[in-house]
Amino acid sequence: MQPNRWKSYALVSVQFACLAAIALTGPLLGPPLLLALAALALALGVWALLTVQLQNVQVLPDPRAGAQLVRHGPYRWVRHPMYAALLLGTLALVLMQPSALRWLIWLILLVNLLIKLHYEERLLAHHFAGYKAYMAESKRLLPYIY
């Protein structure tokens, strides 16, 4: 399966538009509990980035030539820890000042990331011989759940 560049760029564009919209429609600081949730999301995202090494990070869901399948660090439990971190962090932001608009944007982000991860998994299963086995032993976003 070859990547569809238009689809890849569209998914990333929606993702970044939602992130910007959430950041611009409310506060970035809030109660300690929500700040702790945001910090947890940030820690997960940084852990995932350091695990794959920054030079290997790519925003597009298309696998790079010469890429290696990472199955350690947070990837041991979830296949998409960076997506999980984005959803958790933006959820904390939405909860700091909830509104119908911010919930709608967060739901659009959620749907977009679910579409993106399913698309990415099809590409990864085609690119890596061991990806289907990895799928059988890990969850997508939430350890032990999904």
pLDDT in tens, 28-48: 899 999 999 999 999 999 999
91-140 pLDDT, tens digit each: 999 999 999 999 999 999 999 999 999 999 999 999 999 999 999 999 99
% of the chain exceeding 70 in pLDDT: 100
Would residue 35 count as lying in a domain? yes
Residue range(s) defining the domain that contains residue 20: 5-60+70-137
Q: Is residue 44 part of a domain?
A: yes
Q: Give the bridge partners for 139, in sequence order.
A: 78
Is 16 inside any structural domain? yes
Helical ranges in 1-146 per DSSP H: 5-24, 32-52, 81-96, 100-127, 131-137
Task: Look at residues 61, 60, 110, 112 and name the one whose alpha carbon lies nearest to residue 88.
Answer: 110
In a domain, residue 146? The reply is no
pLDDT number for residue 37:
96
Indicate whether 28 belongs to any domain. yes
Closest-CA residue to 139 (of 111, 116, 117): 117
How many domains does the structure of the chain reveal?
A: 1
Q: Are 85 and 41 in contact (CB under 8 A)?
A: yes
Q: How many CA atoms lie within 13 A of 20 on its CB side?
A: 6
145 belongs to a structural domain: no
* Tokens describing residue 62: 């298309």
